[in-house]
Structure 1
Amino acid sequence: MLGGLLVLLLLIGGGLYAVAPLRNPLPAPTVELTLPASMTIPGTAPRLPWPRSGQAMISVDGLGTLGAFGGSEPVPIASVTKVMTAYVILTEHPLDVGEQGPELTVSAEQAAAYPAEQARGESLVEVRAGEVITERQALQAVLLPSANNMARILAAWDSGSVAAFVEKMNAVADNLGMSDTHYTDPSGLDPDTMSTARDQVILASRAMALPAFAEIVKQKQATIPVAGTVQNYNELVGRDGVVGIKTGSTDEAGGCLVFAAVVTVGGRTVSIVGAVLGQPGANTPVQLDRVFAATRSLLRSTAAALTVHTLVEAGEQVATVRGPLDSGSTINAAGKIEVVGWPGLPVRLDAQIPALSSRIAAGAEHGQLTATVGDGEPVATALRTGAAMEPPSTWERIRHHR
């Protein structure tokens, strides 16, 4: 009797021992990333051919600044000032591509100022009292032959006075984060109008985003009332991918150029924006020749530095999955992630992997991997599971006390 009871107790106890592990929930699988959260594009960082003097900066749209030279002390910028003049006009009086826009009339006072302005050697277009000119034509006069008088005429048309318009220019500069810029006139003739290469690159990127602005600065010439056909002083337009934007030259400022170019890298279109300021020379032609030469060297080196880089191959493992009782799988990139960039450019990787159960189907889409290069927009690919993973059987759980 006692022996039978002992056997019964042993059987019951063994059953309880076997059932107890099954009452405990299985631990969730763990995921361990195998890719770093950050990296840099491999290779030697490019060394750009900076000018010997002045300031320069070059930036790649959507990626960030490739490099800068010459410090950040504000300097005179001459007619590069007119980029802000045109930007303020177009943000307050927007134009569609090809649209002429509202008309303005040249006053007798504005026309009467022309001879004295001409005697001072200013960059001008001829105007006459009562001349009717459209907003687009006025902007062409400002941005192509760099007409100081038309910049002042536009300023008064917009704000009632040149002084009130200059206040707007400075307010816009503040809003754009152009912290080292101060405007004193809408033409840049005044050497107290000062800025930096960095600030002008900020403005140029915003201005080129306005279709009417980008359309005008890409023109090699235009026809306007009274003055007739006028030429674009920016002789780089149409060369080395240059699509604008504005020259400048005075004794105090030297040769200046803010530029935009579009190049093709691995079948992809890439926009470059830059500024070169303070190029020396005895006169305007020499100053502009030097700034054009410096810009072409920078653009060619920048284009050569830009290549397509593969950050993640299709099928590359992104994470390891560890399930209960040594079961496991992987999380892999469904597609390739390729980006345009240059060696040394920082990259941020972000794997977004939802929680997993202990049963995983092979090749199932599960999450997303994004790569952000420099200041650009994220590039993404889906993530997929690798091998199937099954939860442990009842017997396996009993054997391993799980």
Structure 2
Amino acid sequence: MTLHDDSREEFAELDELMTSSAPVAAVDPEIRRARRTRALISTGVVLAVVLASIGGYVAWALTAPLPAPEVSTSTPADRALGAAAIPLPVDGATAVSVSGADEYLGESASGIWLTSGTSEPRPIASITKIVAALVILDAHPLADGDNGPTLVFDKADHDLYDKYYVMGATIAPMPTGTSMPLRTALAAMIVPSACNYAEAVAKWAFGSQSGFARAARDWLAAHGLTGTTIVEPTGVSRENTSTPGDLIAIGKLAAADPVIARIAASPTVAQLGGMPTTNSLLGTAGITGLKTGNLGEGSYNFLYTATVDVGIDAPLHVTGVTLGGWSRSSVNEGVLGVLGGIRAGFQRLPVASDGDEVGTFTTPWGSSARMVVGESAAILVWSDTVATATMTTTTPKEYADGEVIGEITWTAGPNTVRVPVVIEGSIEPPTEWWRLTHPGELGER
């Protein structure tokens, strides 16, 4: 506190009078009253200044800006599931191609994605009839929905029934004089795998077995199928051979031909009294074709196509082949295992749960709130594809419960999913006492 000069003099005089041992001279009462008044006024001024200073501080402390809450964030860690297990047959040779999933499986998947066994040419048995149909339609094309020219089978064709019956091959009735459109004749050789129809139609198309063999060689060469040899149209000869890689290409050509694809997807041939397909898996696990074949124990084959729904925009198209299986049941089990493994390998990976903490807000005055995920989410992944997260946040406006302050984006392969980041709890203002007693933590004066 600072005293004015006049006040100092007056207090000094009073002090001298009070402490002096000399006789005190009488002081005029009026003078004494004036001096006392001046002292009181000076003291009041000092007190007023002090009180004004205190009032100013209180006003400032109660309205000064508060420090921003301290923020701590933590971006969620990468997530992944275990690797997919696709069981491949242990006997023979297998190849699998998948179209429609390059973004998940890689571009190589639409070529040859999976293989097992060796790649040398093996006897293909009745899969030959798919090659024969492709060669015949190359020379005598049919539009989709067109039945084609009418074939009339003579006595020589009828005798083929007995020929293949003696051989123990698959046959279908063909009385002399039987007539049918080319489409039906092709169905007879593919669906019930009638060998007598395969030879009869090949002879009709190329004049003889040798004529068919030459046409088959030319067709294979034109398509770059150098690992395939076809000497006759039925598959009874073990000289009809191919590799898993060539058969994948042949299967795709057959599936792309609307005539062959529709025939191979037919469970029966109505014009032959409802003779059933040899493909016992047709319609199972999405299998749409194409052709079985066997030459006995250890020589069971299956060239197949399938559509597999895995939860993306369109189903996957699978082309596969197994050659040299020990039995029909082992081949079928292997195919179902492959398709099941592909389907199971696409999974929804949980990446976020509603309420997961990703950060905190804390204040010097003890109020706090959490930064949390606003909703649960999952993302479609293939196998052990890793899902990674990026998080962006903004400064809250109100620090209030439920306020959206950002988002987390999860990415895995071609897919992304976003979830909001929200405040859980609210930042409450400090008490007046805290403001008054923590001036160093308030905003500038």
Secondary structure at the aligned position of 2:193 is classed as: coil
SS in 1 for 2:231: coil
The answer to whether 1:299 aligns with 2:345 is no
- The CA distance in 1 between the partners of 2:347 and 2:254, in whole Å, is 26
Describe how 1:243-392 pairs up with structure 2 within 5 A: 243-251=288-296, 254-267=299-312, 268-280=314-326, 287-306=327-346
The corresponding residue for 1:238 is 283
Q: Aligned AA for 2:233?
A: P
Could you say what secondary structure the match of 1:262 adopts?
Answer: strand
CA contact (8 A) 2:288 2:307 kept: yes
User: What aligned pairs does 1:146-157 form with structure 2 within 5 A after superposition?
Assistant: 146-157=193-204
When you count helix as a share of all residues, which structure comes out higher?
2
Instruction: Say whether the 8 Å CA contact 2:247–2:321 is kept in structure 1.
Output: yes
Match of 2:95 in 1: 57
State TM-score, norm by structure 1: 0.62
**TM-score, normalised relative to structure 2:** 0.57
Indicate the residue corresponding to 1:393 in structure 2: none
1:196 Cα offset (Å) = 1.4
2:230 is aligned with 1:183: yes
1:24-62 Cα shifts (integer Å, max 9, x gaps): xxxxxxxxxxxxxxxxxx987644211121000110025
CA distance in 1, matches of 2:186, 2:300: 22
* Separation in 1, partners of 2:125, 2:291: 10
The letter of the residue matching 1:295 is V
Distance 1:246 1:186, change over 3 A: same
CA–CA distance in structure 2, aligned partners of residues 187 and 307 of structure 1: 43
Instruction: Name the CA distance, whole Å, in 2 between partners of 1:112 and 1:106.
Output: 10
Q: Percent identity?
A: 29
* Paired letter, 1:72: S
SS in structure 1 of the partner of residue 113 of structure 2: strand
Change (3 A) 1:75 1:155: same
CA shift for structure 1 position 66: 2.2
CA–CA distance in 2 between the matches of 1:208 and 1:150?
21
Cα distance change on mapping 1:173 and 1:46 into 2, 3 Å: farther
Pair 1:57–1:308, CA change in 2 (3 A): farther
Evaluate the alpha carbon distance shift between residue 150 and residue 186 of structure 1 in structure 2; reply closer, same or farther with a 3 A threshold. Answer: same
User: Which sections of structure 1, spanning at least 5 residues, go unmatched?
Assistant: 1-41, 281-286, 310-337, 345-372, 374-378, 380-402
Once residues 309 and 200 of structure 2 are traced to their aligned partners in structure 1, the CA distance between those partners, rounded to angstroms, is: 39
> Which protein has greater RCO, CA pairs closer than 8 Å, 6+ apart?
1
Displacement after TM superposition at 1:339 (Å): 10
Contact preservation (8 Å) 1:191, 1:253: no
Cα distance in 1, alignment partners of residues 145 and 281 from structure 2: 23
2:42 paired residue number: none
Contact 2:92 2:322 in 1 (8 A): yes
Cα distance in 2 for residues equivalent to 1:111 and 1:223: 20
Partner Cα separation in structure 2 for residue 181 and residue 170 of structure 1: 9
Q: Show the counterpart of 1:94.
A: 141
2:274 to 229, 232, 243: 229
Superposed CA offset, 1:241-265 (max 9, x none): 0100000011376111000000122
Distance 1:104 1:343 in 2: 55
Distance 1:194 1:45 in 2: 35
Specify the code of the residue in structure 1 equivalent to 2:93: Q
Partner of 2:52: none
Mapped to 2, the partners of 1:52 and 1:178 lie a distance apart of 26
1:336-394 CA-to-partner distances (Å, cap 9, x unmatched) read xx9986668xxxxxxxxxxxxxxxxxxxxxxxxxxxx9xxxxx9xxxxxxxxxxxxxxx
Q: Select the structure that is richer in strand.
A: 1
Report the alpha carbon displacement of residue 105 of structure 1 after superposing the two structures with TM.
1.2
State the match for 2:397 in structure 1: none
For the structure 1 residues 248 and 340, does the alpha-carbon distance in structure 2 shift closer, same or farther, using more than 3 Å as the test?
farther
- For the Cα contact (< 8 Å) 2:95–2:321, is it kept in 1? yes
Q: Which has the larger radius of gyration?
A: 2
- Alignment of 1:123 with 2:163, yes or no, is no
Give the residue type in structure 1 aligned to 2:146: E
Shift of 1:114: 1.9
Answer whether contact 2:93 2:116 (CA < 8 A) is retained: yes
Do the aligned partners of residues 342 and 135 (structure 1) sit closer, same or farther apart at CA in structure 2, a change above 3 Å counting? farther
Report deviation, 1:279: 0.9
Cα gap change, 1:156 to 1:306, in 2 (>3 Å): farther
Distance 1:217 1:341 in 2: 30
Of 266, 282, 302, the match for 1:219: 266
Any conservation in 2 of the 1:173–1:179 contact (CA below 8 Å)?
yes
Q: Which amino acid in the other structure matches residue 48 of structure 1? A: I
Match of 2:214 in 1: 167
Q: Aligned partners of 2:281 and 2:160: how far apart in 1?
A: 32
* Structure 2 unaligned blocks of 5 or more: 1-79, 103-108, 350-378, 386-412, 415-445
Find the counterpart in structure 2 of residue 103 from structure 1. Answer: 150
**SS of structure 1 residue aligned to 2:180:** strand
Tell me the residue number matched to 2:355. none
- State the alpha-carbon separation in 2 of the partners of residues 61 and 170 from structure 1: 28
Given that 1:125 and 1:150 are in contact with CA atoms closer than 8 Å, whether structure 2 keeps it comes out as yes
SS in 2 for 1:113: helix
What is the number of equivalent residue pairs in this alignment? 273
Alignment RMSD (CA, Å): 2.8
| C-alpha contact (below 8 Å) 1:50/1:298 kept by paired residues | yes
The 1:161–1:274 alpha-carbon spacing in structure 2 relative to 1, beyond 3 Å, is same
Q: CA deviation at 1:222?
A: 1.4
CA-to-partner distance for each residue in 1:87-107, whole Å, 9 max, x for gaps? 112233232333311111112
